[in-house]
Amino acid sequence: MTTVQLYDTTLRDGAQQEGISFSVEDKLKICQKLDELGIDFIEGGWPGSNPKDSEFFAQAQNLRLTHSALVAFGSTRRSDCRAGEDLNLKALLKARTDVVTIVGKAWDKQVTRVLETTLEENLSMVTNSIGYLRGKGLRVFFDAEHFFDGYKGNSGYALQVVMAAAKAGAACVVLCDTNGGSLPQQITEAIRAVQKASPVPLGVHTHNDAELAVANTLAAVEAGVVQVHGTINGYGERCGNANLCSIIPTLKLKMGIDCVTDRQLSKLSDVSRYVSELANMPHYDRFPYVGDDSFTHKGGIHVSGLIKWEDSYQHINPGLVGNRPHVVVSELAGKGSIVFKAKERGLPVPKGKAIEEVLEQIKLLEKQGFQYDVAEASFDLLLRRVQPNYRPPFELVDFMVVVEKRRRPPTRGNQEEPLSEATIKVKVDDRIVHTAAEGDGPVDALDKALRRALLQFYPDLTAVKLIDYKVRILEETGGTASQVRVLIESSDGKENWRTVGSSTNIIEASWLALADSIEYWLTKQAGKSVG
């Protein structure tokens, strides 16, 4: 069986993505997670480029890695000095790692136009640098930067660079698609040429500018490379690097290459989310394998098939990568979707006519602008309300909202903002409560009035906060009479949930979403029977 080494560069190349800045503590934590995942080499940073990376390598001496080897990254010596005098190479030695990776140019135009030196001197820089580090007892990987573009323009020189690195003692020469514009067949062709010229073990480092980084990496593996570079979630400059969260399961599950154990693979989704959290980046729902939507099913036929045979609409078992199937309910749903969703959310499955009622209600309401695949709390309430013994915690009698600008003086300081006031009547058991409240806008006033009415019955309601409010116009051609959808996200500090309302009246749409939010939480807290 082919052996492939996994080389992660999230902490260096991934950190070059706009908006990402890992602290030293972040990098140390990510190292531990990558070690648990079974990554063979973790590139910790470039100690010669900034103080933070130097501090990281100093603190990394205390890491207890059980599988991974930590790698320091740098470049070849400058053209105007000896290897032993180069500050970058000295910084690599101070990092105190057993493995280092250095980058050098493999494209003749990069050498002459960017480095502004001769092709011969560039070869000397490569061999001197690798030889110097090898002489210090280090294992050296060489990143042949811009190799594939260099091979297209001047294949002879690109191959010379690779052979120079190999003769100097590089343990692996990594062929880089630095600009990310190569095609899989071009990757394969170039690798075949290198294999004919030199027996040195090869790696591949691809970027995603043509959205082919993963495909190019897999093509390289099929062509015989033994080391693949990438980042968690594909983070990286411009369009990113090859995504290890796609590469790892594809290698193991599709190509039969045991690059990680089954147990390590099951951690993949957690590692993906963990790194996105520390990167302070939203976790993309549509990531293959590890995204929330990667095993999400919406069509009724799909869900029906999934219930009968879990592989019917999934290319792998989601549990293998630590993910799970997910069903969303919409106007495309069938009975199977309702059954699956009820079981998934721990709710009694509607029986007989009740399930038909829920299905018809969903299709009717979605036609009116509701959307339940993004508001699962409202969907829960649909299931609860068809249960014969369900009693809502409150019922609306009526409400009125007034927004005024100049009819009376402002009540808060010298504000000239419009005043919003909501008056509401609700029924709790046999009691009718009539309250009013002012707010920063009509929705805030409604929220406060409803809470004021309910707090005497449900004092714990103070824990619930409205944290997000979105309005979408569904039919722009209707002008001010257009149908609008309101999506509300609420939280009690432990759980977040979303509810939806829709109407041609934005206040009514807001009320429907708001009332669902409060009813969902109160019902859940009370543990009311739904079966």
Which residue type is seen at 165?
A
Chain-centre distance of CA 455, in angstroms?
39
Which of 217, 247, 278 delimits the end of a domain? 278
Quick one: 38 and 161 in the same domain? yes
More confident residue, 157 or 405: 157
Alpha helices in 224-352 (DSSP H): 244-249, 262-265, 268-278, 300-308, 335-344
Domain count across the chain: 3
Q: Region 76-94: what's the mean pLDDT? A: 95
CB 148 within 8 A of CB 186: yes
Q: What is the pLDDT of residues 458-512, one digit of tens each?
A: 999 999 998 888 888 776 555 555 788 899 999 999 999 999 998 888 899 999 9
What's the mean per-residue pLDDT of the chain? Answer: 89
More confident residue, 346 or 210: 210
Q: Region 65-71: what's the mean pLDDT? A: 97
**pLDDT of res. 390:** 87
pLDDT class of 386 with cuts at 50, 70, 90: confident
The answer to the question of residue 377 being in a domain is no
113 exposure class (CB count in 10 Å sphere: 0-12, 13-18, 19+): exposed
Quick one: 187 and 308 in the same domain? no
Quick one: 254 and 108 in the same domain? yes
CB 325 within 8 A of CB 293: no
Chain-centre distance of CA 5, in angstroms?
24
Residues in the chain: 531
Quick one: 357 and 408 in the same domain? no
The answer to the question of residue 480 being in a domain is no
Quick one: 30 and 135 in the same domain? yes
Domain span including residue 221: 5-278
Q: What is the pLDDT of residues 252-280, one digit of tens each?
A: 999 999 999 999 999 999 999 999 999 98
Quick one: 153 and 239 in the same domain? yes
The answer to the question of residue 521 being in a domain is no
The answer to the question of residue 32 being in a domain is yes
Nearest residue to 371 via CA among 191, 513, 268, 478: 513
pLDDT of 4 over the 50 cut? yes
The answer to the question of residue 264 being in a domain is yes
Q: Region 514-525: what's the mean pLDDT? A: 94
Q: What is the pLDDT of residues 228-246, one digit of tens each?
A: 999 999 999 999 999 999 9
* Angle between helix 213-223 and 184-197 (nearest 10): 30
**pLDDT of res. 416:** 65
Cα 439 to Cα 446: distance, rounded to the nearest angstrom: 8
Kindly state the DSSP code that residue 494 receives in the 8-state scheme: S
Quick one: 148 and 37 in the same domain? yes
Quick one: 111 and 161 in the same domain? yes
Nearest residue to 130 via CA among 98, 84, 168: 168
Quick one: 147 and 267 in the same domain? yes
The answer to the question of residue 469 being in a domain is no
Which residue is listed with tokens 């007034």? 402
CB 318 within 8 A of CB 324: yes
Write out the two tokens for 11: 């902490």
Quick one: 274 and 304 in the same domain? no
Cα 272 to Cα 484: distance, rounded to the nearest angstrom: 35
- Cα-Cα end-to-end distance for the chain: 54
Least confident of 8-17, 77-86, 212-221, 340-349: 340-349
Which residue is listed with tokens 């824990």? 463
CATH number of 236's domain: 3.20.20.70
* Count of CA atoms in the C-beta half-sphere (13 A) of 98: 4
CB 433 within 8 A of CB 458: no
Quick one: 205 and 76 in the same domain? yes
pLDDT of 181 over the 80 cut? yes
The answer to the question of residue 475 being in a domain is no
Write out the two tokens for 396: 């609306």
More confident residue, 316 or 337: 316
Q: Region 57-77: what's the mean pLDDT? A: 97
**pLDDT of res. 366:** 62
Quick one: 232 and 140 in the same domain? yes
Alpha helices in 297-415 (DSSP H): 300-308, 335-344, 353-367, 376-385
The answer to the question of residue 476 being in a domain is no
